[in-house]
Structures are given as structure tokens and as C-alpha cells.
Amino acid sequence: MPVPSSGFLSLGLSDKLTATLTALGYEEPTPVQREAIPLMLAQHDLLAQAATGTGKTAAFALPIIQLIGGDAAAGPRSKERTALTVKAMVLVPTRELAMQVSEAIHKYARGTGLCVVPLYGGSSMQQQIRSLERGADVVVATPGRALDHLRRKTMNLDAVRVLVLDEADEMLDMGFAEDIETILDETPDTRQTALFSATMPARILKIAERHLQKPRRLAIAREKTAAGKMPRVRQVAYIVRRSEKPAALDRILEMEDPASAIVFCRTRLEVDTLTETLNAHGYRAEALHGGMEQRQRDAVMNRVRAGKADLLIATDVAARGLDIEQITHIVNYDVPAAPESYVHRIGRTGRAGRAGTAITLAEPREHRLLRSIEQLTKQKIDVATVPTVADLKARRLEVTRASIRERLLAGDLDDVRGVVQALANEFDLFDVAAAAIKMLDATTDADAEIETEIEKEPARPSRGSGLSSPVRLFIGAGRKAKIGPGDLVGAITGEAGVTAKSVGAIEIGDNFSIVEVSEDVADDVIRAMKGASLRGKKVTVRRDRDPRQA
Ligand code: AMP
């Protein structure tokens, strides 16, 4: 029988929401969900430390849907839905996050009739007003735009029952403290409030003290023994956008050429999709997840053990208790939601003193999760650049060179010497050999076709900027602070919410770095980076040409 997502039911979530999560391929709650959902359903205020990638969005979205869903269940345009009046509000620091969170709530609320509206700057005010007039159950807003609507009286918060401050530390870093205060004053004192933040500095605690009532504190407990159990494995992370992950994985697998690997995904759906993609790309990949029957899973494991599969694509749940010898590579297609899962996953390689490699694909905003894994394991994760077409070509040629050498050592070439002789009469012998290698390496020409978006990825210090109007930014940390290109790109894309396309050439000096970014995002990046930290330290960020701005 397929394993149902009963882990969610035991948290107090309705059958309907549990069924939705099963359909989305979620196998079990993440730690922050396990802790936060029951507390929110019991209508406690909450002060939760959780970063992007831990599953925090679902941790507050699911309770919101359940708590106010009763009213919305009457269906769209229900009479209870009053124009301009909202029942739940989520405040987020950036427009990207507003879009993401509102999409997530929409996804989880499927079939409930609940209406979610995102409110952020840079998008039509009129359209947002029309949505609010039609009646929104939940709004997901940046503080600036929420305030705009309050001032114009196009949004009314008198009936707000649940309020979430998401990524509260970032909102403060971006200077939204006063706006948040004003917005909170517009909501009833009886509301339930949950504050989520990746860090818990004193400023956050002060807000919590003022606006949360008897909050339950939630910082996910760590398994203390984990570090001691860590095998010695090479650990590498690549910062890639979600849409670029399949192409990036292809290249990484080609470079690494694993003898046997497990690729971990978060959901069943992702396992199925990735398995299909990899099979289409010529790998022998097998899927393993809790949605499969025991019989199917046994068959998969038999094929893996018999060496009939190159890659096993699995969820954590399905891989639990698997006993496979000699796994050379663990790939985290997503950063695991809890650092402990990372330790469990990579514990499957590097066994009995053998060499092992752990590869992690992290999205730009998830660099904090990488840091917390490093803290837990007390081991460094190197941030590397996705192999380029040139890297792959070099590797293929190296493989060709090695196999020609082997062939030469094996001898027994007499039957083809005549052909070589004939060609040698007409051409230089060196050219003949080069032509033969070129034919062997027939895949080379196909390379041009796989020049995808990731070719334009930054984090390659040597390449040109590629930006149409680049601005050089001075960042006051460099090699001595152990800053690498990945840190810079991760921080810029993560903190400022700009895409990696807006980041160009990077130079890293001993004490400072220069990063080229598009002119149109330069100010955003400077503003966002001013409040942020790199490798745990605040850094100076300014335009390179004008030292007075320091
Ligand atoms: P977040 O930390 O909220 O940004 O979530 C990170 C990602 O994890 C999102 O893509 C979610 O869809 C996914 N996710 C959240 N909860 C779970 C879960 N329990 N199982 C699998 N995936 C999840």
C-alpha cells in the first residue's frame, strides 16, 4: 500500500488538507511544520526561528487555511466575504516573496474556495483594489504596499484573525520597522500573531515582546550527536535557480561520473519528474518513494543491487533504512529542510573508509541553510560553479585520451595499420590522429546545443560581465574573510531578490571584492546588502567609483 501522509493528520490538519499534501507528494512534515502547525491550530502566538527552505511557508499557510477556511468553505464570493475586509495577513519583505507565498497558499488551499491576494509594489494598484473589493480572505503583502492600501482605505484590517510576519529580520533590515508597527496597529488586539525569522537579534525580540501575546518559542532542537557521526566526505554545493536544476545536474553528473549515487528530492512528484528527465537524458534512473507499493520498491532495489540502475532517485522517507553498499555519491537535489536530514543522507556514502562525495543544489535564497548545515557538521561545504561546456569538453577529451592510451597498451593493431599508412601518405600523421580523436569525440558538436541559461550564470570570476549596463559594486570583504563567488552571488540574489542574470563579473581581492551588477538593480542590491551579512559579518557595500558613499 502507498504510505499516506499521515504525519500531517496527527498534527491536527483536516483530512482535506492532508489529502492535498499527499497529492502534492509531501511525505512527512518538516521539523518546523511538526512544531508550528499544532501550536498555530491551537491559536497560540508563535515566535519561530526558521530560514527559507525549512518548509516554513507551509508551517503557517496550512494553519491559516484551516483556521479561516471554515468561513471560506462556503465557496467563492460567499456572503461572509466582505469587500475590502481581510481575515488573514502575511507580511513579507520582498515582492518575489509575496508572489511565492501567495502561490504557495493558493496551492495548499486548492478546493477550499479560499481567496488569496498578493499586494506588492510595482504592480497595478487598480488591479489590487479590484481584487480586494471582490473580497480577499488572505492577503500576502509587502509592508509598503499594505500601508498604501490602508491610507487609501482600500483595505480594512478590522477583521484580521491571523497575522504572520515572515522573514521578519529581513523586513527590519530593509527599514520596514515603522511600517510594520503602523500596520499592526490597524489590526484587532485579539488577533493571533506568528513571527518567523531566520535570525533572532534583539530587535526582533523587542517586536515580539510588544506585539505577541504569550508566544510559544520555536527553535528546532538539534540532534547533538550528529557531528560525531559524520563520515569524511567531500562536500560541494552549487547555487542554481530551480528552473536550471535539471541542466545543472546533468553536467555535474557527467563531471563526477558516479559509480553509484542516490539523488534525494523533497517530494514524490519531484522524484517522478526527475527520474523521467534523467531517463530521457540517457541515465538508467530508478524512482523510490512512499507512494509506491512495497512490491514495486522491492523490484527497484533488486535492479539497483544487480547494477541495472545508475541512479536511485528517492525521498527521505523511502530511503530510510535502505541498505546499499558502496554509494559513491549523494546528491541533494534540494537542500534538506533540516540539517539533520543532511547528516542522515550523506551518512550513506563514505562508509568503511571509502571516499564519498555529497553534492547539494541550493537555490540562491537557501544559502542560510547551507551555513546552518556547516555549523551542525563542523565541516565546510565548498561552493562550486556548475561545470561549463568547456569543462565538460575537457573532461570528455581526458576520458578519450585515457582510453586511447589503454588501447595502445593492449596492442593488436595490425589489422588497421594499413589504413593509417594510406592516410599517412597523404597527411601529416599527427593530423590523422587528431582527426580520429575528433571522430571519437562525436558528442563535442552536440555541446553547442546544451548551452542553456546556466551558461550565463555568474560566479565565474574569469568571465566578462555580459551585462548591458554594469555597475561595479565594492564589497568590503574578500579572500581573507573566506569569501568566494558563491557567497557573493548567493547573498546578492538572496538578500536583494534579484536574479543571477543581474550579476556579472566578480573579482575577489584579499580584503575586498568587486561585483558587477546591472545598473537597474544596483541601488536595490546596495540597500539590501547593507542590512545583510556575509559569512556572519556586516560588510561595506557601495558603488565602486564613489568612495564618499561608504
Ligand atoms: P519554504 O521553506 O517554505 O520556502 O519551502 C521550501 C520548499 O519545500 C518548497 O518548495 C515547498 O513546496 C517544499 N516543502 C514544504 N514542506 C514540505 C514537506 N513537508 N515535504 C516536502 N516538501 C515540502
513-531 pLDDT tens trace:
888 888 888 888 888 887 7
| For the CA of 29, the nearest atom of ligand 1 | 19
Boundary-marking domain end, from 344, 362, 387? 387
CATH label of the domain that carries residue 289 = 3.40.50.300
Choose among 390, 460, 49: nearest CA to 218.
Answer: 49
| Shared-domain flag, residues 93 and 182 | yes
| Shared-domain flag, residues 335 and 411 | no
The answer as to whether 481 is a domain residue is yes
Q: Is the CB of 266 under 6 A from ligand 1?
A: yes
Reduced to 3 states, what is the DSSP secondary structure of residue 438? Answer: helix
Ligand 1 mean position to 322 CA, how many Å?
Answer: 23
Helix runs in 73-167, H state only: 95-108, 125-134, 143-151
For atom 16 of ligand 1, the residue with the nearest CA is: 55
Q: What is the pLDDT of residue 122?
A: 87
For atom 8 of ligand 1, the residue with the nearest CA is: 55
Q: What is the pLDDT of residue 92?
A: 97
Contact between 340 and 223 (Cβ < 8 Å): yes
Instruction: Say what the alpha-carbon torsion angle 192, 166, 115, 38 is, to the nearest 10 degrees.
Output: -50
Q: What is the pLDDT of residue 548?
A: 38
Q: Is the CB of 245 under 6 A from ligand 1?
A: no
Ligand 1 mean position to 54 CA, how many Å?
Answer: 7
Ligand 1 mean position to 30 CA, how many Å?
Answer: 8
Q: Is the CB of 53 under 6 A from ligand 1?
A: yes
Contact between 64 and 162 (Cβ < 8 Å): yes
Contact between 338 and 30 (Cβ < 8 Å): yes
Surface-to-core class of residue 480, CB atoms within 10 Å of its CB (0-12 exposed, 13-18 middle, 19+ buried): exposed
Low-confidence ranges of the chain (pLDDT < 70): 1-6, 70-81, 221-231, 350-354, 442-466, 545-550
| For the CA of 28, the nearest atom of ligand 1 | 19
The answer as to whether 458 is a domain residue is no
Q: What is the pLDDT of residue 458?
A: 39
Probe residue for ligand 1, chosen from 266, 268, 272 as the CB with the greatest number of ligand atoms within 8 Å = 266
For atom 22 of ligand 1, the residue with the nearest CA is: 266
Q: Is the CB of 267 under 6 A from ligand 1?
A: yes
Ligand 1 mean position to 267 CA, how many Å?
Answer: 8
| For the CA of 25, the nearest atom of ligand 1 | 21
Contact between 452 and 248 (Cβ < 8 Å): no
Pairs from 397-402 (Cβ < 8 Å, separation ≥ 24): 397/437, 397/441, 400/437, 400/440, 400/441
The answer as to whether 523 is a domain residue is yes
Q: What is the pLDDT of residue 4?
A: 47
Q: What is the pLDDT of residue 351?
A: 66
Neighbours of 497 (CB within 10 A): 19
Ligand 1 mean position to 164 CA, how many Å?
Answer: 18
The answer as to whether 454 is a domain residue is no
Please state, in angstroms and rounded to a whole number, the distance separating the CA atoms of residues 137 and 80. Answer: 10
The answer as to whether 462 is a domain residue is no
Surface-to-core class of residue 484, CB atoms within 10 Å of its CB (0-12 exposed, 13-18 middle, 19+ buried): buried
* pTM (2 d.p.): 0.74
Please state, in angstroms and rounded to a whole number, the distance separating the CA atoms of residues 318 and 324. Answer: 13
Q: Is the CB of 332 under 6 A from ligand 1?
A: no
Give me the phi and psi of 148, to 5 degrees please: -55, -50
The answer as to whether 126 is a domain residue is yes
| Shared-domain flag, residues 149 and 249 | no
The one-letter amino acid at 515? V
| Shared-domain flag, residues 55 and 134 | yes
Choose among 15, 88, 95, 7: nearest CA to 55.
Answer: 7
| Shared-domain flag, residues 11 and 65 | yes
Q: What is the pLDDT of residue 503?
A: 81
Q: Is the CB of 54 under 6 A from ligand 1?
A: yes
For atom 11 of ligand 1, the residue with the nearest CA is: 55
Q: What is the pLDDT of residue 466?
A: 62
Rounded to 10°, the helix 125-134/143-151 angle is: 70
Probe residue for ligand 1, chosen from 170, 267, 317 as the CB with the greatest number of ligand atoms within 8 Å = 267
Domain range for 13 is 6-219
Q: Is the CB of 348 under 6 A from ligand 1?
A: no
Helix runs in 190-320, H state only: 202-211, 226-229, 245-256, 268-280, 294-305, 316-319
For atom 15 of ligand 1, the residue with the nearest CA is: 55
Q: What is the pLDDT of residue 129?
A: 95
Q: Round to the nearest angstrom and report the end-to-end CA distance of the chain.
A: 63
Q: Where are the beta strands (DSSP E) in 158-274?
A: 162-165, 192-197, 216-219, 234-239, 261-264
The one-letter amino acid at 305? R
